[in-house]
Chains A and B, each alone.
Chain A
Amino acid sequence: MTTETTATRTAAETPAPGVRVIGSGASLWSRVPWTLIIFVFACAVPWIGSRYNAFLAEQIAIDALFAVSLNLLLGTTGLVSFGHVAYFGVGAYVCGILMKTYSLPFVIAFPAAGLGAAAFALVSGYFCVRLIKLYFAMLTLAFSQIIWAIAYKWNDVTGGDNGLPEIPFPNMDWMNSLPLVGDLKTADRFYLLSILLIAMSLAIVHRIIRSPFGRVLTTIRDNPERAAFIGVNVRLYQLAAFVVAGTFAGFAGALYGIFSRGVFADYVFWSKSAEVLIMTILGGMDYFWGPPVGALALVWLNQEITDYTEYWPFVLGTILLVLLFAFPGGILGGLDALWSRARRVRRA
């Protein structure tokens, strides 16, 4: 083994880029089941916190899923999409329309949202992956604005600029008989349902990234030419990543529509794509937990700052500048660097 600890990773201990966990090697930190703790904590919010806390937590969780789905493209496959909100929007509208206009139950509307987003991702992705970097980004933006234009103008189906207010909550009567949970109000019940669905989705995405499929994607990010010459059909894999990412963005969108009691065209405007991109990079795009950390940071900061001033864009812009010039690795990247330095100091 070399002595340069930062350049060494034992493959069995820590997964490769895209799924990195803070710090490497066996230590007290990595033995703690952080994921489980966070999940239990998230579930406990309706009891240990206020309705407002649960509201914030749900916002963070949904954004986390949305950002993680984007990072499947950005951090794992190396595809920079400026139009990821399109799939979020398709999911939101499909679920909203099915539940409100057609009174279909959540168990049908939710998967349908994912399916709809996946279908649009398949069609748009087919064209996008044929283009190189800059043009790829521009076409994703174009498709996303097309969705926005449709949402904004197709009054009959999407409600146009009035949108779809008052999406009903799913029927959660089956929770009545459950201990503890049965006493919760509807909003809190939906909160728990969301957390459960989001946790499952995150687990699936995590699994996908660590799978051979995910490994192929990271080779594509690293060196597409080399990937082709170990036998990878790069375009096909990029398209597959695009569809998977779109599906989970669709799920996030579906939950968001119900959570925010309505689906509106400005959810799909390109500035939302920029926001989720910033979230992902803020947290650290080389880490699986980067995007959720970024979501947490951004939502929390937004809440704090908007209490004091209306100039949130200025603050966001400044954060972005600091990020770009001082901490390109994001929050987790910065922490990881500190960690490695601390370990080196300890070993010396």
Chain B
Amino acid sequence: MAPSFLFSQFMGGLTTAMFLFLIASGLSLVFGIMRVINFAHGSFYMLGAYLAWQGVQWFHPTGVGFWAASLFAAVAVGVLGAVVERLFFRSLYGREELYQLLFTYALVLILGDVAKFIWGTQQLSVSTPPVLVGSVQIFGSTQPFYNLFMMVIGPAIALAGWLVLNRSGVGRLVRAAQMDREMLDALGANVGTVYTGMFVVSSFLAGLSGALVTPIQSIVPGMDVLIIVQAFIVVVIGGMGSLWGTFWGSVIYGEVLSFGILIFPGFSLFSVFALMAVILIVRPWGLFGRPL
């Protein structure tokens, strides 16, 4: 095992991890506040990807076009999130969690077909923005600039999120809502707005990650289902509602997948679910989460 090969595998795992982290962070956020697993999160991700592609088609495919398109996609998905939350999700809050989960699943079904209807079933792709084209050699392995860029964006969001949540008034409100919704209600704080806000932020993040993943992954139907399963595992391992947990969960997931394949090919698929099961058995609230 040449060190450069190992390093290559490691970097590959890290790339996967940082992509996942961006997506999973939104999922973890919604769960932390609203105690609901949003299965439609993967669908928002997929819509972000499709909308980014669409945006690139519209805004003349220059270097700036990609960034504008990504922002457009993220904002559009954020708006969709707001609409979904206000119109539908609201009325399900008092009800059993099962109904809320099934609602998000219904969204998965509907949004998946909407995407299919609008964009068809063939693979679409977006080219890497010119400013990030190319690669660099590190320790004998080739690292595309775009991948490195993604590896930086991930922790950047984590830091930004951590700062907002811990240092600002909004953050305090969010943490209070996390702990006791009823109390907050009683104090007159507008809990509804907090929930909508969080949902919008989460959807925005999903859309953004979908958009940013397009240069290195083709856009296909079914990418929503594929990603939500992975994001789910990451959030379970790291701990629901903990951004830091999501970060480490992503890293663990990425590296297990990357190195697991070396041990024996079929292993990694099995091992990530086995890991998820073990965490749930031993420490259900994950590495960094808090007991419900």
CA distance A314 to B106 in the complex (A): 8
The answer to the question of A316 belonging to the interface, with a C-beta cut-off of 8 Å to chain B, is: yes
Q: Chain A contacts of B270 at CB under 8 A?
A: 146, 149-150, 153
Interface contact A317-B107, CB-CB below 8 Å: yes
Interface contact B280-A135, CB-CB below 8 Å: yes
Interface contact A313-B110, CB-CB below 8 Å: yes
Chain A residue nearest to B100 in the complex (CB):
A324
Give chain B nearest CB distance to A321 CB in angstroms.
5
Chain A residue nearest to B95 in the complex (CB):
A328
Interface contact B273-A274, CB-CB below 8 Å: no
Interface contact B277-A139, CB-CB below 8 Å: yes
CA distance A95 to B80 in the complex (A): 46
Q: Chain B contacts of A229 at CB under 8 A?
A: none
The contact of A314 among B99, B102, B114, B232, by CB within 8 Å, is B114
Interface membership of chain B positions 168-182, coded 1 if the CB is closer than 8 angstroms to chain A and 0 otherwise: 000000000000000
Interface residues of B in 77-126 (CB under 8 A from A): 88, 91-92, 95, 97-99, 101-103, 105-110, 112-114, 116-117
CA distance A272 to B132 in the complex (A): 42
Q: Chain B contacts of A154 at CB under 8 A?
A: 266
Interface contact B112-A313, CB-CB below 8 Å: yes
CA distance A281 to B277 in the complex (A): 27
CA distance A23 to B184 in the complex (A): 44
Give the total of A residues in contact with B, Cβ under 8 Å.
Answer: 37
Interface contact B273-A320, CB-CB below 8 Å: no
The answer to the question of B186 belonging to the interface, with a C-beta cut-off of 8 Å to chain A, is: no
The contact of B105 among A138, A152, A318, A320, by CB within 8 Å, is A320
Q: Chain B contacts of A281 at CB under 8 A?
A: 102
The answer to the question of B211 belonging to the interface, with a C-beta cut-off of 8 Å to chain A, is: no
CA distance A133 to B225 in the complex (A): 23
Interface contact A139-B117, CB-CB below 8 Å: no
The contact of B110 among A139, A149, A150, A317, by CB within 8 Å, is A317
Give chain A nearest CB distance to B273 CB in angstroms.
4
Chain A residue nearest to B279 in the complex (CB):
A142
CA distance A243 to B37 in the complex (A): 27
Q: Chain B contacts of A139 at CB under 8 A?
A: 277, 280-281, 284
Give chain A nearest CB distance to B102 CB in angstroms.
6
Interface residues of B in 263-285 (CB under 8 A from A): 265-266, 269-270, 273-274, 276-277, 280-281, 284
Interface contact B110-A318, CB-CB below 8 Å: yes
Once A142-B273, A317-B106 are accepted as A-B contacts, the answer to whether A132 and B113 lie under 8 Å apart by CB is no
Give chain A nearest CB distance to B137 CB in angstroms.
35
Interface contact B107-A146, CB-CB below 8 Å: no
Give chain A nearest CB distance to B117 CB in angstroms.
7
Interface contact B105-A274, CB-CB below 8 Å: yes
Give chain B nearest CB distance to A24 CB in angstroms.
25
Once A133-B97, A314-B113 are accepted as A-B contacts, the answer to whether A149 and B292 lie under 8 Å apart by CB is no
Interface contact B273-A314, CB-CB below 8 Å: no
Give chain A nearest CB distance to B157 CB in angstroms.
25
Interface contact B269-A149, CB-CB below 8 Å: yes
Interface contact A134-B280, CB-CB below 8 Å: no
Q: Chain B contacts of A316 at CB under 8 A?
A: 109
Q: Chain B contacts of A320 at CB under 8 A?
A: 102-103, 105-106, 109
Interface membership of chain A positions 266-297, coded 1 if the CB is closer than 8 angstroms to chain B and 0 otherwise: 00001100100110010000000000000000
Interface membership of chain A positions 122-135, coded 1 if the CB is closer than 8 angstroms to chain B and 0 otherwise: 00000100111111
Interface contact A132-B280, CB-CB below 8 Å: no
The answer to the question of A14 belonging to the interface, with a C-beta cut-off of 8 Å to chain B, is: no
Once A317-B109, A321-B106 are accepted as A-B contacts, the answer to whether A153 and B266 lie under 8 Å apart by CB is yes
The answer to the question of B236 belonging to the interface, with a C-beta cut-off of 8 Å to chain A, is: yes
The answer to the question of B229 belonging to the interface, with a C-beta cut-off of 8 Å to chain A, is: yes
Q: Chain A contacts of B232 at CB under 8 A?
A: 138
CA distance A67 to B285 in the complex (A): 30
Q: Chain A contacts of B280 at CB under 8 A?
A: 127, 131, 135, 138-139, 142
Chain A residue nearest to B116 in the complex (CB):
A311
The answer to the question of A145 belonging to the interface, with a C-beta cut-off of 8 Å to chain B, is: yes
CA distance A150 to B236 in the complex (A): 21
Once A317-B113, A324-B102 are accepted as A-B contacts, the answer to whether A142 and B284 lie under 8 Å apart by CB is no
Interface contact A324-B117, CB-CB below 8 Å: no
Give chain A nearest CB distance to B167 CB in angstroms.
30
CA distance A325 to B97 in the complex (A): 14
Give chain B nearest CB distance to A314 CB in angstroms.
4
Interface contact A132-B116, CB-CB below 8 Å: no
Interface contact A277-B99, CB-CB below 8 Å: no
The contact of B97 among A134, A152, A314, by CB within 8 Å, is A134
CA distance A137 to B39 in the complex (A): 13
Interface contact A324-B236, CB-CB below 8 Å: no
Q: Chain A contacts of B102 at CB under 8 A?
A: 277-278, 281, 320, 324
The contact of A145 among B88, B109, B266, B273, by CB within 8 Å, is B273
**Chain A to chain B: the 9 pairs with minimum beta-carbon distance, closest first:** A317-B109, A153-B266, A314-B113, A317-B110, A320-B106, A149-B270, A142-B277, A313-B109, A135-B284
Give 18 pairs: A residue, B residue, CB < 8 Å, sorted on A. A130-B281, A132-B292, A139-B277, A139-B284, A143-B277, A146-B274, A146-B277, A149-B270, A153-B269, A270-B229, A313-B109, A314-B110, A314-B112, A320-B106, A321-B88, A324-B99, A324-B102, A328-B95
Given contact pairs A153-B270, A317-B107, a sample of 17 additional A-B residue pairs in the complex whose CB atoms are under 8 Å apart: A130-B281, A135-B280, A137-B101, A139-B284, A145-B273, A149-B266, A149-B269, A152-B269, A153-B266, A271-B225, A311-B117, A313-B112, A314-B110, A314-B113, A317-B106, A321-B103, A325-B91
